[in-house]
Structure 1
C-alpha cells in the first residue's frame, strides 16, 4: 500500500468491491447473514475501517467455504448471528466457542483434503 492509498483509502474501496463481488456469489441465506454481520461490525470500525478488513475477509472466507460444502447458515454461525458478530469484535465468552468451532472445522477440512490426496 502506498502512502497515497493509505491517505485516500483507495485500497479499501478495491477491497470492499471485492468483498461485495464475492458476497453476491453466495446463496441468498448466506448473503443475508453477510449483510447482518457487516452491519453489526461497521460501528466497531476505526476511522478508515481498515481494522475490520481482515475480520471481514475471514468471515467471508468461512461463508464461501461453508456454502461450497452445502451447509446451512445455522450450522455455520448458529442461530444468533448478531451474537456471532459481537464475539468477533469484542471477544468475550462466545468468541472462544466460535474460534473452537472454526478450528475444528478447519482441522476436519484439512484432514479430508490430505486424506483425498493420499488415497
Structure 2
C-alpha cells in the first residue's frame, strides 16, 4: 500500500470490493448475515476503519467455511448477531466510536474547567 492509497482510503475500497465478490457466492441467508454483521461491526471501527479489515476478513472466512460445510447461519452465529459482533471486536462492553469521542470530549471539558480554578 502506498501513501496515496492510504490517505484516500483506496486500499480499503479495493478490499471491500473483494469482500463483496466473495459474499456473492454465498447462500442468501449468509449474504444477509454478512450485511447485518457489517452494520454492527463498523460502529467499532477507528477513524479510518482499518482496524476492522482483519476482523471482517476473518468473519467472512468463517461464513465461507461454514456454508461449505452445510451449516446454517443460526448454528454458526447464534440468534444474536449483534452480540456475536461485539464479542468479535473485543467484549460485550466494547466501546463504539461515539463512546470514545464522548469520553474524549468530557476529558477535554473537565481539563479546561479544572484549569480555570
Scaled to the shorter chain, the TM-score interval is 0.7 to 0.9
Higher helix fraction (1 or 2) = 1
Greater relative CO (CA pairs within 8 A, separation 6+) = 2
- How big is the alpha-carbon RMSD for the aligned residues of Structure 1 and Structure 2? 1.3
Pairing 1:1-119 to 2, within 5 Å after superposition: 1-92=1-92
Q: Tell me which stretches of 4 or more aligned residues in structure 1 moved more than 6 Å.
A: none
Matched residues, number: 93
Task: Give the CA deviation at 1:89.
Answer: 2.0
TM-score (normalised: structure 2): 0.75
Distance 1:91 1:18 in 2: 28
Which blocks of at least 5 consecutive residues in structure 2 are unaligned? 94-117
Which blocks of at least 5 consecutive residues in structure 1 are unaligned? 94-119
Distance 1:78 1:48 in 2: 29
TM-score (normalised: structure 1): 0.74
